[in-house]
Amino acid sequence: MQQIARPDRAPGLAWNTEDVRPAEQFAYYREAICQVFMKLTPEPTDRSSFPARIERIGLGAGAINRVTFPGHLVRRSASDIAASSSSCFYLNLKLAGRCRIDQDGRAVELSPGQVGIFDSERPFALHHSQEPSLHVASFWVPTQLLRDRLPPSFEFRPARVSDDPLVGHLIVETAQALNSAVPAMPEAESARLFGVLLDLVALSLSRDGRRGADPMSLVEATWIALRRAVDHRLCEPGLGVAAVAAAIGISERYVHKLFERAGTTFASYLMDRRLDGAARDLKDPAIAGRAIGDIAFDWGFSDLSHFTRRFRHRFGCTPRDWRRG
């Protein structure tokens, strides 16, 4: 099942086949979700049950559908297209399982962590690998919203945009950040980040077109990727600029420039994030018996006295007093 949610639906709208009996789940998925909600035609399966769920969240003019389902084959036929009242592009971030998109004689394979795009206005088939549970974050992109970012004569073909050597990693990082944060983000912020994602996708699709991504969009997406790279490695002792720069494919100098642009430094950002993490753990009743030194080491500190000094400077008290108070 892939997203074809309409952006005028209520935020957080969800469909869940587990609301009906197992023997009726595929029929509910086919008739109530695919045909009424999405205009897709799934192929029958031999499963005795079909646990599938869609959660839809608005992104300004677009939307994201967070979808979980078993492996199966689904098609969008010419009659499905004719019965649809709107057109869009599907931008899919694969989270679990594998999928092959067949459209216009072209096959696009997606594995976890990859992003692909295809068109609702042309027939396609989605071959989801035969696994008990697959998961995809599928962005519903109104056709004109992306076309406005592309050259007027651009001829679209399905593509795996995460492969782009220039901006592929930024597309993945931005899509992952948006999928992770969107339930708690104000809609204005999520819509803005969605625009950054579309700018990057447009740049990937048409490098030589007259229109491409706004340079500020590239900066913002790189900044998002940079912070995620640091956050994922907070607990690594000795983490330095070189390792983070290599992780997202930019120079060490550019790392320093991005932190400077944000009014801080790599070292300050890293220290603050580690101290924040340690402060949370010190207040966590589940690990109340864990030694303060062990918590400090968990967050990448190798010297307890240094940790205590920096903690006091940031929070105005020692780690022990913080835990007690």
In contact, 136 and 95? CB cutoff 8 Å? yes
In single-letter form, the type of residue at position 306 comes to H
Per-residue pLDDT band at 264 (split at 50, 70, 90) = very high
**pLDDT greater than 60 at residue 256:** yes
Q: What whole-number percentage of the chain has pLDDT above 90?
A: 55
**Bridge partners for 135 per DSSP:** 68, 96
Q: Which helix (H) or strand (E) holds 320?
A: helix 319-324
Q: Which helix (H) or strand (E) holds 90?
A: strand 88-96
Q: Which domain holds residue 21?
A: 13-165
In contact, 62 and 3? CB cutoff 8 Å? no
Per-residue pLDDT band at 217 (split at 50, 70, 90) = low
Query: Does pTM top 0.75 for this prediction?
Result: no
Tell me, what's the pLDDT at 207?
66
Tell me, what's the pLDDT at 146?
93
Q: Is 321 contained in some domain?
A: no
The mean pLDDT of 215-227, rounded to a whole number, is 77
Per-residue pLDDT band at 161 (split at 50, 70, 90) = very high
> Checking DSSP bridges between strand 88-96 and strand 73-76, what pairing results, if any?
unpaired
The mean pLDDT of 7-33, rounded to a whole number, is 78
CA torsion 116→119→124→129, rounded to 10°? 20
Tell me, what's the pLDDT at 214?
55
Q: Is 173 contained in some domain?
A: no
- Residue 274's nearest CA partner among 304, 306, 235, 241 is 235
Q: Is 325 contained in some domain?
A: no
The mean pLDDT of 222-227, rounded to a whole number, is 85
Edge-to-edge strands, sheet with 53-59: 13-16, 53-59, 62-69, 134-142, 88-96, 115-119
**pLDDT greater than 60 at residue 9:** no
Tell me, what's the pLDDT at 276?
93
How is 97-161 classified by DSSP, letter by letter? S-EEEEETTEEEEE-TT-EEEEETTS-EEEEE-S-S-EEEEEEEEEHHHHHTTS-TT-----B-G
**How many domains does the chain divide into?**
1
Q: Is 311 contained in some domain?
A: no
| Residues 250, 254: Cα–Cα separation, whole Å | 7
**Tens digits of residue pLDDT in 50-81:** 999 989 999 989 999 999 999 999 999 999 99
In contact, 12 and 59? CB cutoff 8 Å? no
How is 32-77 classified by DSSP, letter by letter? IIIIIII--EEPP---S----EEEEEEETTEEEEEEEE-S-EEEE-
104: alpha, beta or left? (left if phi > 0; alpha if psi -120 to 50): left
The per-residue pLDDT of the chain, averaged, comes to 87
Any idea what the CATH number is for the domain that residue 160 is in?
Answer: 2.60.120.10
Tell me, what's the pLDDT at 106?
93
DSSP 238: T
Q: Is 187 contained in some domain?
A: no
* Helix, coil or strand: residue 9: coil
Q: Is 175 contained in some domain?
A: no
**Tens digits of residue pLDDT in 32-55:** 788 766 789 999 888 889 999 989
Q: Is 87 contained in some domain?
A: yes
Q: Is 3 contained in some domain?
A: no
Tell me, what's the pLDDT at 225?
83
Per-residue pLDDT band at 192 (split at 50, 70, 90) = confident
